[in-house]
Amino acid sequence: MKNHQSFKIFIVEDDVWYGSMLQHYLSLNPEYEVKRFESPRDFFAQLHENPDVVTLDYSLPDCDGAEVLKKIKEHNPDIRVIVISGQEDVATAINLLKNGAFDYIVKDDDTKDRIWNSILHLREISNLKQEVETLKTQVGKKYDFSQMILGKSDQINKVFSLIEKAAKTNITVSVTGETGSGKEMIAKAIHYNSDRHKQPFVAVNVAAIPRDLLEAELFGHEKGAFTGAVTRRIGKFEEADKGTLFLDEIGELDINLQAKLLRVLQEREITRIGSNAVTKIDVRIVVATHKNLLEEVKNKSFREDLYYRLIGLPILLPPLRERGNDILILSKFFIDGFCRENKIDKKTLAPEAQQKLLQYPFPGNVRELKSVVELAVVMADEELIQSEHITLNTTASIADLLNKEMTLKEFEIQILQHYLDKYEKDVLLVAKKLDVGKSTLYRMIQNGELKMK
């Protein structure tokens, strides 16, 4: 990103010829607005214009250069000052730099080129500073949860309230919700609205990393700690120091690693693989899962002590099907964004298309809705998106299911298979959701009536 607005330079130089030469030379850049002053009095009269850079002759007849520098910094410390002197005095140069001068340049044949390069350097610094400020603003806007986690339903308003409470403290947060419901967005909303928002947000999907690699990913390793460890590497805990570590799908964490994670949470320190050195960490933890961790504790697949360490402030993210008209609010947001990104004329949902979306249970939640409406935009030739442009997973629609001619047993198998697919083959959760005996499900799986692949 470049700033193409004018860059204002004031030259304070009592030597008319030398000052005119500098003014001409610097004005060769059309983006520079250059003004020249022969006396400090004239310069101070225009200082309210707040130039970006001042080139200051140190040996002015009626005022010491150090005194001019002091007055400039008192007026506006952001104004950069390049001091130009006829004498190479190291002590004076050091003193001026300590008092806020950006550069000290001795007059010689190369002076104008050195001034040019110094201003180029200043310009780059100014551009980078502006970029940082712009990015900070964008990050703040991007994760304003009232704008990005869209919805007006009572369920989502409860979530907003909990995010606000979480953002005010460093309490551990556990986010529970179905796949695709937006758990990572909740974690980001908490982080970027907390005191840690300027520090790293590091996300780890526990289920996506092989178990034998996850320990090194989380805690880091030393060179030679194991085969393939050719260099030292810090882990995600160290990477997230002073910030937030988001552990997605925490329910998939291996039972042996659970003990190590518990120790890290208790001691607030980690030890890299292959090292005996202890590293202190300051990390805010947010975890997420689609599983019922309390059930996992009862089934001995999740440590009870770790569960109570992680539960902290629990946030239950409602599935999309329970959020009513939020489906239409999100649909409009995704449609408008897709049209804008692809330079497509704005499109809207016809009433029949809206009803079709509202009646669908969305097993994939917000992630599925986004895919559905973006495809609908592509399929619709006119401004209105009609019902036929909405392509849904009909196996998940009860209305479509009941239109089929099947036996009661076949209906039962389709419903059970749908829920097994929806909850990622979690037999115990499906048994609880449908009030079916888990032994019945296991028997049907063993008989081949239900598929686990």
Could you give the percent of the chain with pLDDT greater than 70? 92
pLDDT at 85: 86
For residues 125 and 428, the model is more confident at: 428
Cα distance between residue 160 and residue 173, in whole Å: 14
Name residue 8's amino acid: K
**Same domain flag for 158 and 264:** yes
Give the end-to-end CA distance of the chain in Å, rounded to a whole number. Answer: 49
Cα distance between residue 280 and residue 12, in whole Å: 52
pLDDT at 339: 94
Please return the burial class of 360, using the count of CB atoms within 10 Å of its CB with bins 0-12, 13-18 and 19+: buried
**pLDDT per residue over 298-321, tens digit each?**
999 999 999 999 999 999 999 998
**Same domain flag for 42 and 154:** no
The domain tally of the chain equals 4
Provide the domain limits for residue 414: 398-446
Residues constituting the chain: 453
**pLDDT per residue over 87-112, tens digit each?**
777 888 888 888 888 888 888 888 88
**Same domain flag for 289 and 417:** no
Contacts 24+ apart (CB under 8 A), 65-68: 65/96, 66/95, 66/96, 66/99, 68/12, 68/40, 68/43
**pLDDT per residue over 412-453, tens digit each?**
888 888 788 777 788 888 888 888 888 888 888 888 888 876
pLDDT at 354: 93
β-bridge partners, 447: none
CATH value at residue 68: 3.40.50.2300
pLDDT at 237: 94
* 135: confidence class by pLDDT, cuts 50, 70, 90: low
**1: pLDDT strictly greater than 50:** no
Q: Is 1 a member of any domain?
A: no
Q: Is 453 a member of any domain?
A: no
CATH value at residue 204: 3.40.50.300
pLDDT at 2: 39
Q: How many CB atoms lie within 10 A of CB 286?
A: 29
pLDDT at 31: 84
Cα angle for residues 453, 421, 173 (degrees, 5° grid)? 115
The answer to whether residues 196 and 240 touch, using CB atoms and an 8 Å cutoff, is no
**Same domain flag for 384 and 403:** no
Q: Is 116 a member of any domain?
A: yes
From the list 65, 81, 72, 70, the residue with the least C-alpha distance to 122 is 81
Determine the average pLDDT of the residues in 61-65: 79
**Same domain flag for 382 and 432:** no
**Same domain flag for 213 and 289:** yes
* 297: confidence class by pLDDT, cuts 50, 70, 90: very high
Q: Is 303 a member of any domain?
A: yes
* 277: confidence class by pLDDT, cuts 50, 70, 90: confident
Q: Is 285 a member of any domain?
A: yes
**44: pLDDT strictly greater than 80:** yes
**pLDDT per residue over 139-159, tens digit each?**
555 555 556 678 888 889 999
Name residue 270's amino acid: I
Q: Which of 61-70, 145-154, 349-358 has the highest mean pLDDT?
A: 349-358
**pLDDT per residue over 178-230, tens digit each?**
988 899 999 999 999 999 988 999 999 999 988 888 989 999 888 887 877 77
Q: Is 452 a member of any domain?
A: no
Average pLDDT, the chain: 86
From the list 339, 221, 334, 229, the residue with the least C-alpha distance to 274 is 221
**pLDDT per residue over 364-421, tens digit each?**
899 999 999 999 999 998 999 999 999 887 554 554 455 556 788 887 888 888 788 7
